[in-house]
Structure 1
Amino acid sequence: MTKRLENKVAIVTGGSAGIGAATAVRMAEEGATVVVFGRREEPLKAVVAKISAQGGKAAYKVVDVSDEQTFVDAIDAVAKEYGKLDVMVNNAASYTWGGITEMSTADWHANFTTTVDGTFWGTRKAMQLMQENGGSIVNISSICGTFGTAWMAGYSAAKAAVTNFSRAAASEGALSNIRCNVVIPGVIETEATAGMLSDEKSREGTAKLIPMKRVGTATELANAVLFLASDESSYITGASIPVDGGRSSDLHTAMD
């Protein structure tokens, strides 16, 4: 291991499964002390146990990111316990399905409470804690926020907001050496995408839309987050990096 995050303290929200869990594991492999946030205790315990079994350093906190005070207090507690916060990964998200004409206002708002508000609260608190020593904030958007996805209008709008909010945060944080970047996943094989990849026909249909002709893995996404969290990306801020097998660069297939 190269220990690219040696002596760094990192928080990963939505860390109990999928992209968040893979990110926590990779960061710990590279030397970070990682605290994973999530709403479900048993999966969080499993992630921490996996990291510990590999010789890494990790802990967890049961946190609902949509509850502002609880979330902010949990971030403060991590910084107090470990003496600092170097990396903040805002990965937690919420979404609803449904057509626009049938969508209730409550369902529309449900897409924003965790995805946008949580990203704002996490970024704001991290920036406050990083004023003296700098740090890296990585926010997770989605290809839905780049092109929009039918039946997921609220989620698409929320993820677009995450991307543009992060650009503004990068501009404000730059003078304090606080970097803020965005990773934009395409189709990544996780529990959240299991439904759309449930059989070989569905998987092949999805793969046809991707120039690399396959879906991505959570570890491939986590590697991009790791790079942005590390000092290797020390002159990169305000960037939006797609991790999607080339789909966002292929406008024809992206619009199909």
Structure 2
Amino acid sequence: MTARMQNKVCFVTGGGSGIGAATARKMAAEGGIVVICGRREEPLKTVVAQIEQAGGKAAYRVADVSDEKAFVAAIESTAAEYGRLDVMVNNAMAYTWGGVDQMSTQDWHVNFATTVDGTFWGTRTAMKLMKPQGGGAIVNIASICGVFGTAWMSGYSAAKAAVINFSRAVASEGAPVNVRCNVVVPGVVATPATAGMLGDDKSRTNTEKLIPMGRVGEADELANAVFFLASDEASYITGASLAVDGGRSSDLYTVLE
């Protein structure tokens, strides 16, 4: 265990699995005091136990990120308990599948309630807490779908695109008060959320053929990127969108064998 996040108070949404859980473990391993947030208590308890067994400090808050009152209260209670908030990671998301011509308004809104509204509420609350204390770091999680058009995922793509540009505006506002805001843009990552598209060998192989590095990403690899942008090592970086996608977004033509 090193100490690049020593005693910094970190709040991570969607912390019960996938990228959120990996990020929480990484920050705790680097000395951070990590509070994870999610809708289901059992996964949160499991991640906290893993962190504590490894010698780290962690706690959890049960809250639905699409519920403004509950979510904001979870962040504020964390800052009240630990005296400050140094890092905010807005990782929670929700999505629906379906063609544009068949999508209901309700399904469209599902993509925005957690991904956009939740990111806004989390960022706004973090800004209010970080400005008086002299700064902090916000890392928002987008998706390669927010950079390129993705059939059958128009709502999710639009929501993740909104996160990217929203974060640029936040970076501009936060810079004078030392509040940095950056974005990590994952490609295909092996998490519970992608289990369906990677559920069999054929699906996984076909997906990997589209990625220049020839494999899907792992949650720990995304966590490393999130950690870097949240850490003091990125002290002069704000408004950036860091693609962590095995080269997928840099490749115009993929040669399939």
For the criterion TM > 0.5, the same-fold answer is yes
**Cα distance in 1, alignment partners of residues 172 and 146 from structure 2:** 21
Cα shift at 1:251: 2.2
Say how many residue pairs are matched.
254
Counterpart AA for 2:201:
E
Superposed CA deviations along residues 35-56 of structure 1, whole A, max 9, x for unmatched, are 0000000000000000000000
Cα shift at 1:15: 0.5
For the residue of structure 2 that corresponds to 1:66, the secondary structure is: coil
**Cα distance in 1, alignment partners of residues 6 and 100 from structure 2:** 47
> Which residues of structure 1 form unaligned runs of 5+?
none
> Which residues of structure 2 form unaligned runs of 5+?
none
> 2:36 is matched with which residue?
36
Percent identity over the alignment? 73
Q: TM-score, normalised by structure 2?
A: 0.97
Superposed CA deviations along residues 174-215 of structure 1, whole A, max 9, x for unmatched, are 000000000000000011111111111111100110000000
> 2:248 is matched with which residue?
247
For the residue of structure 1 that corresponds to 2:14, the secondary structure is: coil
> Is residue 243 of structure 2 the alignment partner of residue 231 of structure 1?
no
> 1:57 is matched with which residue?
57
> 1:168 is matched with which residue?
169
**Cα distance in 2, alignment partners of residues 253 and 17 from structure 1:** 31
Superposed CA deviations along residues 213-247 of structure 1, whole A, max 9, x for unmatched, are 00000000000000011000000000000000000
> 1:7 is matched with which residue?
7
**Cα distance in 2, alignment partners of residues 75 and 148 from structure 1:** 33
Counterpart AA for 1:195:
G
**Cα distance in 2, alignment partners of residues 148 and 196 from structure 1:** 17
For the residue of structure 2 that corresponds to 1:51, the secondary structure is: helix
**Cα distance in 2, alignment partners of residues 120 and 54 from structure 1:** 33
> 2:109 is matched with which residue?
109
> Is residue 152 of structure 2 the alignment partner of residue 151 of structure 1?
yes
Superposed CA deviations along residues 79-114 of structure 1, whole A, max 9, x for unmatched, are 000000000000000111111110011111110000
Matches of residues 144-223 of structure 1 in structure 2 within 5 Å? Answer: 144-223=145-224
> 1:94 is matched with which residue?
94
For the residue of structure 1 that corresponds to 2:31, the secondary structure is: coil
> 2:74 is matched with which residue?
74
For the residue of structure 1 that corresponds to 2:131, the secondary structure is: coil
Counterpart AA for 1:13:
T
Greater CA drift, 137-146 or 2-11: 2-11
**Cα distance in 1, alignment partners of residues 238 and 86 from structure 2:** 15
